[in-house]
Amino acid sequence: MRVGLLTEGGYPYADGEARLWCDRLVRGLAQHEFEVYALSRSARQAAGDFMELPGAVRRVRTAPLWGEGARAPRRGRGTYGRRERRRFAECFGELAAAISAPGGPGSPGAPAAAGTAGPAGAAGSQADRFASGLYGLAELARERGGLPAALRSETAVRALERACHASGALQGAHRARVADLLTVTGALERALRPLSLDWYGDGEGGGEGSVGEGSAGESCVGEPGLSGVDLCHAASAGPAALPGLLARRFFGTPLLITEYGVRLREYYLASAAGPGGAVLSAPVRTLLASFQGRLTAEAYARAALITPGNTHARRWQERCGGAPERLRTVYPGMDASRFAEVGERGAGGGAGERGDDGWTLVWLGRLEPAKDVVALLHAFAQVRRAVPRARLRLVETGRPAPAADGYPAHCRALAAHLFPDFPDFPDEAADAHPVGDSPVSFARLGDPGLPSAADAYAAGSVVVLSSVVEGFPVGLVEAMFCGCATVSTDVGAVCEVIGGTGLVVPPRNPRALADACLELLADPERRERLGAAARARALELFTAEQNVAAFRGIYLELMSHCPVRRGEYGPGGEPVPFARPAEAHIPGRWAGGAGPAPSPAAHTPTWATAQPGPEPEPEPEPLGVGPYAPPADEGRP
């Protein structure tokens, strides 16, 4: 099977998101061929190195979602006449009207599911208008090119202005000024660049805004691109899903979407600042959030399957229009072998076996506001008053987000204020910690004595998570692999991950956090029981092996309901024997399918066609029509 892996700001870049999960996926499913189509988010990322790619990755294509991005059009393309300009204005007008209208997943007061808001059919009609405009622009770009320049033209600005000032438009859109409209059209041009790329099998390398290199450095000129893959697997429902939507539209290729952190939720959390940290105005935020919501809903509606990483993400996807029958939770897989030694060492022993002193709390993560280390420090002040021997070790991993500027310094200043560098109690001199040693220490992963996360977890008696915002808590799973007892705040997927093997308290509640920590510090036997149960749960649900096995079954399931369209040919152009799967030769209808299979005469050896059998089915209809075409009710022109 040939799989097109679609990413945005992720794999195969060495500093990309979800890179470890994608790397484990392609290595674990090495029997398939992978082609990676990656969208980069910054010049720094695009200039960076790739991860070491396995042999299963046959080709990598990249394109930027930053900068100007528009190259000189190819000869005979990109110049719009009167008909093309009118066609562009109609398509972009539909898209602009949809993102300016209320009721979408990105607008205030959005409904729980598309189609349930306001007047009957209002939400559905706006979704149809968005799809009509989106695919109309894609077809125009495929036929004539020139879309990036058109999206930044005065025609686009005027169409957006009309939509924003129309009756019934979003309240925030009514206040948009010319500068706001220019900002929005620029952002839409960047987000819609996948519509203009040469990834869809036109056989002409060097398309607008694209870079094409194979895994071994060979040129991609003449390659079939996404027209030759059997399945598109997108790592998010944002711009990364756009190539998959177009492959489904043009070629009937099934689309699988996997989200471990919901892309739309991440956009909402980061929507206050634009590129470079510039503060965006309220109309700009309103329109861009509406666009992202509409795009997400379209991706969810057209995907054959959606695989959230936890129930928390699944609720978001259902609210944004994902059909429950097409949602299937697949927990992210993690490498448990890195924590095996610490976990096995603590499985049958107490504090002495684990290597900790029985009184140390460990926190591990990025020092940023979402982790609420300030609340943890206040909670530890209460723990310290009750247990003078208690210690808190804060271990930083990686650099904090740009929005966290100044937060690490604030945490250090607060720790110095709450815990001066002298003992709080006179008799503490007899303790294992010397006089003047602060009970709160800051360290960074990779420092001497902390070469790995397993070493950090092994040094603590209780692992604490104090976040106020969390998706899938990776650090919590790592602590569970190590057999640690944990205290966590009830955010994101924490309760689903813990499943009764740790203590969970409300967020932003230092008193509750302190009480839970004191309970576990005072009861070593309970810590051992919870740690053993946590390790058993993590090994059952969150290993890389279970993740790869789940996707192996999903790939085969999706392919069993889809036609096989491509042939395999050797270096000399001759067909490769047995390259087509056996089910490609079965005449008649697929089980549960929507129409006849391809003609057996077109896909079976000559000796087979001479045997007695049923009358051959008619030849398949041209691409884009017939049984494998998109349904007629999709609202497209």
Residue 376 to residues 87, 424, 479, 513, Cα–Cα distance (Å): 58, 19, 18, 8
Rounded to an integer, what distance in angstroms lies between the CA atom of residue 606 and that of residue 614?
Answer: 15
More confident residue, 147 or 358: 147
Q: Which of 320-324, 579-583, 601-605 has the highest mean pLDDT?
A: 320-324
Burial of 1 (0-12, 13-18, 19+ CB in 10 A): middle
Identify the band that residue 601 occupies on the pLDDT scale cut at 50, 70 and 90: very low
pLDDT at 47 over 50: yes
Tell me the pairing of strands 211-214 and 57-64: antiparallel
pLDDT at 609 over 50: no
Rounded to an integer, what distance in angstroms lies between the CA atom of residue 472 and that of residue 482?
Answer: 18
* CATH code for residues 336-542: 3.40.50.2000
- How high is the pLDDT of residue 401? 65
Rounded to an integer, what distance in angstroms lies between the CA atom of residue 605 and that of residue 594?
Answer: 26
Q: Could you report the per-residue pLDDT of 531-572, keeping only the tens digit for each?
A: 999 999 999 999 999 999 999 999 999 988 876 555 565 666
Q: Out of 47-61, 224-238, 398-412, which region has the weakest mean confidence (pLDDT)? A: 398-412
pLDDT at 119 over 70: no
Listed in sequence order, the residues at least 6 apart from 285 whose beta carbon sits closer than 8 Å to its beta carbon are 172, 271, 272
pLDDT at 272 over 90: no
- How high is the pLDDT of residue 7? 95
pLDDT at 308 over 60: yes
Identify the band that residue 625 occupies on the pLDDT scale cut at 50, 70 and 90: very low
- How high is the pLDDT of residue 204? 41
Q: Out of 254-258, 392-396, 607-611, which region has the weakest mean confidence (pLDDT)? A: 607-611
- How high is the pLDDT of residue 428? 42
pLDDT at 628 over 60: no
Rounded to an integer, what distance in angstroms lies between the CA atom of residue 278 and that of residue 268?
Answer: 16
What SS3 class is residue 141?
Answer: helix
Number of residues assigned to the chain: 637
Identify the band that residue 345 occupies on the pLDDT scale cut at 50, 70 and 90: confident
Q: Could you report the per-residue pLDDT of 475-521, keeping only the tens digit for each?
A: 999 999 999 999 999 998 999 999 999 999 999 999 999 999 999 99
Residue 237: both structure tokens together? 């429902």
Listed in sequence order, the residues at least 6 apart from 255 whose beta carbon sits closer than 8 Å to its beta carbon are 232, 234, 241, 244, 245, 247, 248, 299, 302, 303, 304
- How high is the pLDDT of residue 105? 67
Tell me the pairing of strands 57-64 and 33-40: parallel
Rounded to an integer, what distance in angstroms lies between the CA atom of residue 421 and that of residue 438?
Answer: 5
Rounded to an integer, the average pLDDT of 3-24 is 90
Which helix (H) or strand (E) covers residue 626, if one does? none
Listed in sequence order, the residues at least 6 apart from 130 whose beta carbon sits closer than 8 Å to its beta carbon are 94, 95, 98, 99, 104, 294, 295, 298
Identify the band that residue 122 occupies on the pLDDT scale cut at 50, 70 and 90: low
Rounded to an integer, the average pLDDT of 431-458 is 79
pLDDT at 71 over 90: no
Residues 92 and 156: beta-carbon distance below 8 Å: yes
Provide, for the chain, the percentages of residues in helix, strand and coil under a 3-state DSSP scheme, each rounded to the nearest 5: 45, 15, 40
Enumerate the domain spans of the chain.
Answer: 82-333, 336-542, 585-637
Query: What φ, ψ does residue 348 adopt, rounded to 5°?
Result: -125, 15
Rounded to an integer, what distance in angstroms lies between the CA atom of residue 553 and that of residue 13?
Answer: 27
* C-beta neighbour count of 71 within 10 angstroms: 14
- How high is the pLDDT of residue 202? 54
* C-beta neighbour count of 299 within 10 angstroms: 28
More confident residue, 223 or 334: 334
Rounded to an integer, what distance in angstroms lies between the CA atom of residue 172 and that of residue 366?
Answer: 34
Rounded to an integer, the average pLDDT of 242-267 is 90
Listed in sequence order, the residues at least 6 apart from 188 whose beta carbon sits closer than 8 Å to its beta carbon are 151, 156, 291
Q: Could you report the per-residue pLDDT of 84-117, keeping only the tens digit for each?
A: 999 999 999 999 999 999 976 644 444 444 444 4
Rounded to an integer, what distance in angstroms lies between the CA atom of residue 352 and that of residue 562?
Answer: 57
Q: Out of 79-88, 349-358, 461-470, 597-606, which region has the weakest mean confidence (pLDDT)? A: 597-606
Rounded to an integer, what distance in angstroms lies between the CA atom of residue 353 and that of residue 461?
Answer: 11
Q: Could you report the per-residue pLDDT of 186-220, keeping only the tens digit for each?
A: 999 999 999 999 999 754 433 333 334 443 333 45
- How high is the pLDDT of residue 590? 45
More confident residue, 602 or 229: 229
pLDDT at 325 over 90: yes
Residue 592: both structure tokens together? 């549960």
Which helix (H) or strand (E) covers residue 99, if one does? helix 82-100
Tell me how far the alpha carbon of residue 595 is from its chain's centroid. 33
In 265-422 the beta strands, taken as DSSP E runs, fall at 305-308, 360-365, 391-396
Tell me the pairing of strands 360-365 and 462-465: parallel
Residue 622: both structure tokens together? 């041209």
What SS3 class is residue 380?
Answer: helix
